[in-house]
Structure 1
């Protein structure tokens, strides 16, 4: 079917959204590969520097739904500009950090800006491009998300090795300035009037404490059962608060819609696995295969490059064949890629890593385009910000779970990943991705169930 090309203004508007997705996605993982360097720079333990990653993820996760609601009433373009400003300023503060505590605090503030960018970028697609191009636009954003998240460790490692750890944050300053100008210049102005904004402070506070307890339970030795119990109790308290709140952080009624709940569950499972590759991959390549830092960076770039080249074609496949057909195929590909990582022996060398990661990267790009397009097509204009934010919340819960829970699985099977032998590292990789394979099989079952099918059969199937 012939489609009119985007006009220059729409192209630049979509470029601004792509950059708004790339920047916070990149900083989700850019510090991962450099954690040993940062531990040495600040004379800190691995558990302490791990909070450079977790502080960012927690800030994004706890605020993303709130800012999505704010965008619906305050104006999405206006709030996106504020978010880009916060993210850029906090990035500069990270680069200037004189201590680990300063850096962790600045990363948390950076996460506030990232939450705004994540929550509103997908919701603004409908304002930037025609409906017939929504799938391709979502494919581009999926490419940016996948590229940013998976490119982070390799880019961060290269910058730290050749420039210095400050450079991984300084790079955001010129990008942020360019992004803000593009959004201001090309995105259509908000068509909503400012409204009195109610904010769910109790719900936000409880959610933040619940997620912090969960992350601590997975990263701090001792008191783990207690912290897990606190996090579970926090979930119950959060539900009670949301039921009674006049302006709930999360409308629990959204979860009664099988289309939405299925999409969010699938997103959580898939992003858990993607973060697992970022936690385990660098250790397997360096300790398991004996690669140097530059080689590790190059190998870790394979996935991002594939995602970058496959995201837009994946979006076109969704436009042509529909999410109903594409999501199960993507989930099957992810399951196969994880199974290969779990089964291929270390004696196969680099092929045992590159081949499965290729399958995972291509499948992830297809999943993102299909799942996001199917979800947003069935949402009304007044709810797009909230649902987009819920999608971001699900994604970041998956990232936290991958970094904390799946990281804990890998740590338990290797004792100390920084000192373990090749055989132990390989065994840890196989066990961890055995668990990841089980998660993807569960996701495939959900995606192919009647509930999942109702999501995938939404009216975005063909345009």
Structure 2
């Protein structure tokens, strides 16, 4: 077994009272189970944070006598904080201790939720939401990083699948839970519901996650403050460029996008000159990590099509009312949630690359089916291909996360986990703009929403094929002359033989 695995095992033995030698599997099950429960609640908190707030925007506009553009910042402040700070949070966890920082992130998220509920004005609510987003950035960055330290390597994929399931459950539950809380208890309940979940996540994580390893101060790398600031500003400018303007790309969006390009150039230059960069270029040159991040962003871009296109197609082409539309749209996250854990078991058994390719093939088939399905097939003609797309997404996401995190060294797991979260967020932000623009243009040109949907999913299929090509190419590069690609896309989620 590799040294970092031995070290992680040592932490588990210390915390569970195990004696020297290799403990039995039974001795590990309770702490692993409860550690995963704490990580799962952390993922649920961060995914609930976005969807549940969406449900309350109309009510909050009335409560604070604000326009839609103003209350939209309740969602944007959270999204911007997560997107801009997730990589820095991951790197900080690598340096100061992931358990310590995760507990601080859960505490911040929980306290910020109370402040959101108590906010007397809209702008104080937005400020509290930004603080909540900072906590969510920590949760997003560090939950996957803990899997390598808490879960036996033969169960890595299953653990990643569980975390993916909790993310999908939070996404699916957010709008419906938000509606119920609004109807029964008022808007403040949208944020107070996080408090008991946050307390439970804190207690479980404090009790069952492995203690941070203490290193001499002389051996610790410095935190890259300048790189973190430049990356945060660059990502914030990009996210704003993609989300402001209600789908219209005006002068402000252009200026923000140019600012993001300039910021990215400054970031690259600063990283080349610092001794302890936030993101090492060697990470991006690694074929597994590079392909995993690129394909993750492409696939997340595609998944936004289901949220952008679905409501218009279901209501205007198929003539469904609001309640049936919401029910049909919930099929996607629910299917992804059900598929997560079985997808992890597939990754454990057959390896990350093969399982990721299987998921991408399923997504391609579903997207192509949606692009050619006639409206005469009704709801069934939309739901079945949608289920194929979302189940394929769950399979790909679980396998891709497993492969990328297996390829990350123990001292870089936090930053790599943060980069995975960033690639997903950038894909969603880009997809909201790109897929929305494709749909709007195609619908306007043909004068039919159905035509817009078909064109959008054709573009989606092309993006999925690009992701498939990236993953396949990474596998060929890693295979090398000896065909040893299992070393980097292992079936057991590890980095080598035990």
TM-score of the superposed pair, with normalisation by structure 1: 0.88
Task: State how 1:447-458 maps to structure 2 within 5 Å.
Answer: 447-450=471-474, 454=478, 457-458=486-487
Q: Is the 8 A contact 1:154 1:298 kept in 2?
A: no
1:321 is aligned to 2:350 = yes
1:52 is aligned to 2:74 = yes
1:214 is aligned to 2:243 = no
Report what 2:3 is aligned to: none
Report what 1:341 is aligned to: 370
> Partners in 2 of 1:329 and 1:398 — Cα distance?
20
| Alignment match of 1:185 (pick from 207, 226, 238) | 207
- Deviation of residue 459 (structure 1)? 4.4
Q: Could you say what secondary structure the match of 2:119 adopts?
A: coil
| Alignment match of 1:354 (pick from 383, 389, 397) | 383
Q: Could you say what secondary structure the match of 1:401 adopts?
A: helix
Structure 2: segments with no counterpart, 5+ residues: 1-23, 480-484, 493-498
Q: Is the 8 A contact 2:86 2:419 kept in 1?
A: yes
Report what 2:15 is aligned to: none
Report what 1:240 is aligned to: 269
Report what 1:270 is aligned to: 299
Report what 1:418 is aligned to: none
| Alignment match of 1:82 (pick from 77, 99, 104) | 104
> Partners in 1 of 2:192 and 2:360 — Cα distance?
36
Structure 2 CA distance for partners of 1:24 and 1:450, relative to 1, 3 Å: closer
Bigger Cα displacement from structure 2, 337-346 vs 38-47: 38-47
Structure 2 CA distance for partners of 1:116 and 1:380, relative to 1, 3 Å: same
1:105 is aligned to 2:127 = yes
Q: Could you say what secondary structure the match of 1:30 adopts?
A: helix
Structure 1: segments with no counterpart, 5+ residues: 416-422
Report what 1:202 is aligned to: 226
The CA RMSD measured in Å over matched residues stands at: 2.8
1:148 is aligned to 2:177 = no
Q: Please give the per-residue CA displacement for 1:29-48, whole angstroms capped at 9, x wherever unaligned.
A: 33345544444544444444
Q: Is the 8 A contact 1:276 1:403 kept in 2?
A: yes
Q: Is the 8 A contact 2:84 2:233 kept in 1?
A: no
Structure 2 CA distance for partners of 1:171 and 1:347, relative to 1, 3 Å: farther
Report what 1:96 is aligned to: 118
Report what 1:370 is aligned to: 399
> Partners in 2 of 1:48 and 1:80 — Cα distance?
31
1:135 is aligned to 2:157 = yes
TM-score of the superposed pair, with normalisation by structure 2: 0.83
1:431 is aligned to 2:455 = yes
Bigger Cα displacement from structure 2, 8-17 vs 188-197: 188-197
Structure 2 CA distance for partners of 1:36 and 1:403, relative to 1, 3 Å: farther
Report what 1:251 is aligned to: 280
Structure 2 CA distance for partners of 1:380 and 1:204, relative to 1, 3 Å: closer
Report what 2:257 is aligned to: 228
1:123 is aligned to 2:145 = yes
> Partners in 2 of 1:40 and 1:412 — Cα distance?
33
> Partners in 2 of 1:35 and 1:18 — Cα distance?
27
Report what 1:73 is aligned to: 95
Q: Please give the per-residue CA displacement for 1:187-216, whole angstroms capped at 9, x wherever unaligned.
A: 122222484673333323332332333233
Q: Please give the per-residue CA displacement for 1:334-382, whole angstroms capped at 9, x wherever unaligned.
A: 1222223333234432223311221122112111221111112222211
Bigger Cα displacement from structure 2, 246-255 vs 74-83: 246-255
> Partners in 2 of 1:453 and 1:47 — Cα distance?
47
- Deviation of residue 180 (structure 1)? 0.6
> Partners in 1 of 2:180 and 2:118 — Cα distance?
20
> Partners in 2 of 1:119 and 1:206 — Cα distance?
18
Bigger Cα displacement from structure 2, 141-150 vs 120-129: 141-150
- Deviation of residue 266 (structure 1)? 1.0
Q: Please give the per-residue CA displacement for 1:125-156, whole angstroms capped at 9, x wherever unaligned.
A: 12222122112111111222233234434443
Report what 1:441 is aligned to: 465
Q: Please give the per-residue CA displacement for 1:435-462, whole angstroms capped at 9, x wherever unaligned.
A: 2222112111212225566397444533
Question: What is the number of equivalent residue pairs in this alignment?
Answer: 455
> Partners in 2 of 1:266 and 1:28 — Cα distance?
23
- Deviation of residue 290 (structure 1)? 4.3
Structure 2 CA distance for partners of 1:284 and 1:266, relative to 1, 3 Å: same
Structure 2 CA distance for partners of 1:266 and 1:154, relative to 1, 3 Å: farther
User: Who wins on radius of gyration, i.e. which is larger?
Assistant: 2
Q: Could you say what secondary structure the match of 1:189 adopts?
A: coil
> Partners in 1 of 2:414 and 2:305 — Cα distance?
28
Bigger Cα displacement from structure 2, 262-271 vs 347-356: 347-356
